[in-house]
Copies of this chain bind each other. A is one copy, B any other.
């Protein structure tokens, strides 16, 4: 091979798009393929949803401050979240792990304790396991399987002009939890005698270390007879993920800064670090909240649900993607938050 193109030049999403650009679908049973939170397969008229995620030590988690039980729990949650994001219910998981001899059987027991806790809480079965050696580090692969009533699944590409942009829970907490842990890790490595200062930070730490998947929102939508026009879970950050929905739906959007839900402990810790809480909510990942769009006529059905915020609306693609700040300025939305904050 004569040329070398750096992967960084395409980015993660660009790479997947590039590599799957000629991907053809052979099976009539393949309903939703590459490019969404999960795949949807038709098995004899009933629909199965499948997703898989890889978690790599040093990339996705740091064992210096991640208890193994929490890691096991979170590994399951991030996959269940992808199933819920299709408007489906998870039923089973398969777990593959690669571990070096640095880990003991007791360590693996702790990890599995978290896995089982998540399985129990979300009512899913662990149905397969594969353990192998790794030369270095801990590698986790989780596949989640779910079911959805025929054609009730929700993709990323269905947002329509005038739809309302909604988000569950609050944003930015996991990212600030990560900054807190990175700060404490640095202090610890420099001066091991110093006691970590994490008082009052339970909320952002829990959001980082023990996230939950929003099964309650999916149940609420079902009970309220709302089928979102598009949906995904927020793993990369609100901006980046909303841009995915707009791109895949071929639409634009307007977002209101003052509508973006940020919890009080998140706001406080952001100020402590001299950071803007909105920027954290827009760019911080790993919240595992649901981001979805609904028809305007469904607004009345969810207005009283305090776990759901309406944060903007969908426009024609020519209008682009923008955020209206508290000071009533309009800025283009970018994957990193917004371009110029001035």
Chain A interface (Cβ within 8 Å of chain B)?
1, 3-10, 12, 15-16, 18-20, 22-27, 29-30, 32-34, 38-39, 41, 43-44, 46, 48, 50-54, 56, 58-60, 91-92, 94, 96-99, 101, 103-110, 112, 116, 119-120, 123-137, 139, 141, 143, 145, 147
Q: A43-B147, A147-B43 are in contact. Are A51 and B128 (CB under 8 A)?
A: yes
Nearest-Cβ distance from residue A59 to partner chain B, whole angstroms: 5
How many copies of the shown chain assemble into the complex?
Answer: 2
Taking CB atoms, residues of chain B closer than 8 Å to A43 are 43, 46, 48, 147
A1 to B51, CA, bound (A): 34
Complex Cα distance, B37 from A127, in Å, reads 11
Q: What secondary structure prevails in chain A residues at the interface with B?
A: mixed
Neighbour of A50 across the interface among B8, B94, B132, CB < 8 A: B94
Residues of B within 8 A of A133 (CB): 12, 56, 59
- CA distance in complex: A131, B27 (Å): 24
Q: Is the CB of B125 within 8 A of A26?
A: yes
Question: Which residues of the partner chain B approach A99 to less than 8 Å between Cβ atoms?
Answer: 7
Please state if A60 and B141 are interface contacts (CB–CB under 8 Å): no
With known contacts A3-B106, A132-B56, A135-B59, A127–B44 Cβ distance under 8 A? no
Q: Check A1 against B110 for contact (C-beta < 8 Å).
A: yes
Cβ of B141 and Cβ of A52 under 8 Å apart?
Answer: yes
Q: Which residues of B contact A27 (CB under 8 A)?
A: 91-92, 123-125
Given contacts A106-B4, A128-B33, contact A59 B98 (CB under 8 A): yes
Inter-chain contact B128/A59, CB cutoff 8 Å: no
Do A54 and B132 have beta carbons less than 8 Å apart?
Answer: yes
- Cross-chain contact A5 with B56 (CB below 8 angstroms): no
Q: Are B25 and A105 in contact (CB under 8 A)?
A: no
A-B contact pairs, 21 of them (CB 8 A): A1-B106, A1-B110, A4-B106, A9-B105, A18-B105, A23-B126, A25-B125, A27-B91, A27-B124, A33-B125, A33-B126, A33-B128, A34-B129, A39-B128, A41-B48, A41-B91, A44-B44, A44-B46, A53-B130, A58-B135, A96-B141
